[in-house]
A and B are shown apart, each in its own frame.
Chain A
Amino acid sequence: MSILVDGSTRVVVQGLTGREGTFHAGQMIEYGTTVAAGVTPGKGGTTHLGRPVFDTVAEAVRAEAVDASIIFVPALAAAAAILEAAAAGLRLVVCVTEGIPVLDMVRVKARLGGTATRLIGPNTPGVISPGLAKLGIMPGRIHRPGPVGVISRSGTLTYEAVNQLTVAGLGQSTAVGIGGDPVVGLGFIDLLEMFAGDPATEAVVLIGEIGGPAEERAAALLRGGYPKPVIAYVAGLTAPQGRRMGHAGAIVSGGHGGARQKIDRLEEAGARIVRNPARIGRTAAEALGA
């Protein structure tokens, strides 16, 4: 078992024929993911990497019964690509694209509110259920199937954490990068809830970082009782205060965002805190008594 993606997931790649889409779709196929189609407007009717290419996501849904998409389109076209995937009824959209204007994401998020589509990202390494499916740009070979769920706001720090788990003999049920942008789709809370209900997941590793309210919200959820051990690391304890968005920006952030506060909240809520980022794997192994 796993969350979000598994062996039955049928994927359409939006932006398949571009340089990044081609490279990463190739890697996803090599990993064993069912990449069923690509979408590039104007290239419908052709094939790429042996997959049929369509002009629209809706056509890919009709012809290939895809249920999830991964997006590799340029930043200024990405918001429209996400909304197109949602309008076509896909249950999962993973947006790898980075550099999307945040006001675009504010609108996208509001419009996804009334749909059944779940968005991962943007600016995410993606989601992988080791041995089953990879919708993302993470190096597949560092992952192993196993009992640990991973949720992270980072890219390479997620690889680091996963690698430590694998080295410690702990595989992963699913590893999800929620994305590093100010406004993203699924957050820590959504994923913690999914992992709570996943029988294959025995513990969750949560990788946070400074800025935004995500870790504080996760802590609030954990405080209400969580059925599995949570191991948390928050990066940026030594980072200087970020450039402030001026006074109004600092006010609307409501005092959230510092690493110290995030760590304190998570610890109070019962998470096992990792202070040394080189010891994420070992701490998870201790938590699982492995």
Chain B
Amino acid sequence: MRIHEFQAKRLLAGCGVPVPRGQAVATAAEARAAAEDLGGPVVVKSQVHAGGRGRAGGVLRASSPAEAAAAAARLLGRPLITEQTGPAGRMVRRVLVEEAVAAARELYVGLALSREAEAVVLLVSPRGGVDIETVARGEPELVTRQAISPLEGLLPSQASRAARALGLEGPEAEEAAGIITALARVMEATDASLVELNPLILTAAGRLVAVDAKLDLDDNGLARHPEVQALRDPEEELPEELEAARAGLSFVRLDGDVGCMVNGAGLAMASADLIALAGGRPANFLDIGGGVSEEATAKAFAILAADPGVRSVLVNIFGGIVRCDLVARGIVRAAREGGAGLPVVIRMEGTNVELGREIMADSGLPFFTAGDMETAAREAVRLAREGGGDR
């Protein structure tokens, strides 16, 4: 789960990480009031779940409350298009009004779960405020990484070494080590997969301030952190992806025209590969999971049928725990309710497959059935190309 910058900063500030004073607001009038409270120049930052906001014009400076109100009015209620949002952009519903802090130096500090190290890795660089991947590629000597022992946690010596690698000395180095230690604690305490300060700035007066902060959370850990779970912003999720998640389905929208409904992520990816081999393009990735019910199957089919870009549907089920008869009942129900005219190709194998096929055949609906998944994919691609039946 991703959270907004203002939420991440609030969480980090509670653990002792210095952040600028600021307030998240939803209207221009509130932005003016916030800027008045803060006094002095402010920064008005769009709050959306995407990076690259600054380069996309989503972060504006304001030297007075009136300018802050004008900046908020320009940002709010419009989609912000960054290199990470796709062409539709993301609607800005809130801005963070924050005191402007002048940087003498911009640093990078991040902690991320590494699949390769099977550990959390601490990354620091004296070159912050820019894309850290670019730094790592171009000037790898400027990125220092240290794996954190899962059993011992972050060692004080690791935090000090990181502070030195940031080019800090004396009390500034001590403060940086303290910030890094706090980040490691936050990661542990929230089941985060990533926590990143970019930039962490050093002011002319020698203060360290996290001007931008990012915190990504492991969905599997949310159940034991209700206070973190409460930070979910459903408006940042695609409506159909949210609907799918509520039904226990995993859905990702793609840009093709063959809708897919498969049980299991691996088989779903294999089905998409088959569609591509047959010359077509999948419209989505939809994994109905292991313990699916008739209800959830009907919901899955309805989500596919509601997408106007879908010209045909490929159903590929290998029943292990999933029973083919339940899936068949769900599809028949959903097709009767709202799938009119959408050609459906079904390939089923495994538990209760005969019963499933019987249910499909007895429905009187014009389903196409295929004995193996290659034939099924070819057929679905052909039907999509022919224009999706009556659509």
A198 at the interface (CB under 8 A from B): no
A277 at the interface (CB under 8 A from B): yes
Asked whether, in the complex, the Cβ of A246 is within 8 Å of the Cβ of B272, the reply is no
Asked whether, in the complex, the Cβ of B318 is within 8 Å of the Cβ of A253, the reply is no
Instruction: Chain A residues near B115: list those with CB within 8 A.
Output: 182-183, 211-213, 252-253
The distance in angstroms between the C-alpha atoms of A137 and B291, with both chains bound, is: 12
Against A, the Cβ 8 Å flags (1 = close, 0 = not) of B248-288 are 00001010000000111111011011111100001001000
B351 at the interface (CB under 8 A from A): yes
B133 at the interface (CB under 8 A from A): yes
B181 at the interface (CB under 8 A from A): no
Asked whether, in the complex, the Cβ of A106 is within 8 Å of the Cβ of B270, the reply is no
Measured between C-beta atoms, what is the minimum distance from A86 to chain B in Å? 14
Q: How many residues of A contact B (CB 8 A)?
A: 59
Instruction: Chain A residues near B349: list those with CB within 8 A.
Output: 160, 163
Instruction: Chain B residues near A290: list those with CB within 8 A.
Output: none
Using CB atoms, name the residue of chain B closest to A109: B118
Against B, the Cβ 8 Å flags (1 = close, 0 = not) of A89-108 are 00000000001111100110
B123 at the interface (CB under 8 A from A): yes
Against A, the Cβ 8 Å flags (1 = close, 0 = not) of B341-375 are 00000000111000000000000000000001110
Against A, the Cβ 8 Å flags (1 = close, 0 = not) of B149-190 are 111000000000000000000000000000000000001100
Asked whether, in the complex, the Cβ of A249 is within 8 Å of the Cβ of B193, the reply is yes
B223 at the interface (CB under 8 A from A): yes
Instruction: Chain B residues near A210: list those with CB within 8 A.
Output: 269
Instruction: Chain A residues near B114: list those with CB within 8 A.
Output: 252-253
A139 at the interface (CB under 8 A from B): yes
Instruction: Chain B residues near A275: list those with CB within 8 A.
Output: 277
B139 at the interface (CB under 8 A from A): no
Asked whether, in the complex, the Cβ of B133 is within 8 Å of the Cβ of A247, the reply is yes
A156-B266, A157-B270 given; A252·B350 CB < 8 A: no
A183-B118, A248-B111 given; A238·B282 CB < 8 A: yes
A135 at the interface (CB under 8 A from B): no
Instruction: Chain A residues near B120: list those with CB within 8 A.
Output: 103, 106
Asked whether, in the complex, the Cβ of B116 is within 8 Å of the Cβ of A154, the reply is no
Asked whether, in the complex, the Cβ of B266 is within 8 Å of the Cβ of A245, the reply is no
B14 at the interface (CB under 8 A from A): no
Instruction: Chain A residues near B95: list those with CB within 8 A.
Output: none
Asked whether, in the complex, the Cβ of B285 is within 8 Å of the Cβ of A103, the reply is no
Instruction: Chain B residues near A247: list those with CB within 8 A.
Output: 51, 110, 131-133, 196, 198
Using CB atoms, name the residue of chain B closest to A233: B270
Q: How many residues of B contact A (CB 8 A)?
A: 66
Measured between C-beta atoms, what is the minimum distance from B375 to chain A in Å? 8
A137-B321, A180-B266 given; A101·B132 CB < 8 A: no
Asked whether, in the complex, the Cβ of B277 is within 8 Å of the Cβ of A276, the reply is yes
The distance in angstroms between the C-alpha atoms of A238 and B285, with both chains bound, is: 11
Instruction: Chain B residues near A240: list those with CB within 8 A.
Output: 252, 254
**Prevailing SS type, chain B contact patch:** mixed
Q: Which of B211-239 contact A (CB under 8 A)?
A: 214, 216, 218, 220-221, 223-224
Using CB atoms, name the residue of chain B closest to A107: B150
The 8 Å CB contact of A160, one of B110, B270, B273, B277, is B270
Instruction: Chain B residues near A142: list those with CB within 8 A.
Output: 350
Instruction: Chain B residues near A99: list those with CB within 8 A.
Output: 220
The distance in angstroms between the C-alpha atoms of A138 and B318, with both chains bound, is: 11
Using CB atoms, name the residue of chain A closest to B277: A276
Asked whether, in the complex, the Cβ of A156 is within 8 Å of the Cβ of B320, the reply is yes
Using CB atoms, name the residue of chain A closest to B322: A156
The distance in angstroms between the C-alpha atoms of A51 and B272, with both chains bound, is: 44
Measured between C-beta atoms, what is the minimum distance from A245 to chain B in Å? 5
The 8 Å CB contact of A110, one of B121, B149, B221, is B149
A163-B318, A239-B285 given; A106·B273 CB < 8 A: no
Against A, the Cβ 8 Å flags (1 = close, 0 = not) of B88-132 are 000000000000000000000011111111111101000000011
B72 at the interface (CB under 8 A from A): no
Using CB atoms, name the residue of chain B closest to A157: B266
Instruction: Chain A residues near B264: list those with CB within 8 A.
Output: 154-157
Measured between C-beta atoms, what is the minimum distance from A81 to chain B in Å? 16
Asked whether, in the complex, the Cβ of B320 is within 8 Å of the Cβ of A106, the reply is no
Measured between C-beta atoms, what is the minimum distance from B31 to chain A in Å? 27
Asked whether, in the complex, the Cβ of B218 is within 8 Å of the Cβ of A101, the reply is yes
Asked whether, in the complex, the Cβ of B267 is within 8 Å of the Cβ of A160, the reply is yes
Measured between C-beta atoms, what is the minimum distance from A11 to chain B in Å? 19
The distance in angstroms between the C-alpha atoms of A110 and B145, with both chains bound, is: 19
Using CB atoms, name the residue of chain B closest to A207: B266
Asked whether, in the complex, the Cβ of A106 is within 8 Å of the Cβ of B113, the reply is yes
Q: Which of A244-264 contact B (CB under 8 A)?
A: 245-254, 256
A63 at the interface (CB under 8 A from B): no
A235 at the interface (CB under 8 A from B): yes
A158 at the interface (CB under 8 A from B): yes
The distance in angstroms between the C-alpha atoms of A22 and B5, with both chains bound, is: 45
Measured between C-beta atoms, what is the minimum distance from B164 to chain A in Å? 20
Using CB atoms, name the residue of chain A closest to B187: A103
The distance in angstroms between the C-alpha atoms of A154 and B273, with both chains bound, is: 15
The 8 Å CB contact of A251, one of B133, B224, B270, B274, is B133
A209 at the interface (CB under 8 A from B): yes
Asked whether, in the complex, the Cβ of A76 is within 8 Å of the Cβ of B223, the reply is yes
Asked whether, in the complex, the Cβ of A156 is within 8 Å of the Cβ of B318, the reply is yes
Asked whether, in the complex, the Cβ of B191 is within 8 Å of the Cβ of A101, the reply is yes
Give 7 pairs: A residue, B residue, CB < 8 Å, sorted on A: A207-B266, A212-B116, A213-B116, A235-B267, A240-B252, A252-B145, A277-B274
Excluding A102-B193, A235-B266, 11 further A-B contacts by CB distance (< 8 Å) are A102-B221, A154-B265, A156-B318, A159-B318, A163-B350, A207-B266, A236-B273, A247-B131, A248-B121, A276-B374, A277-B373
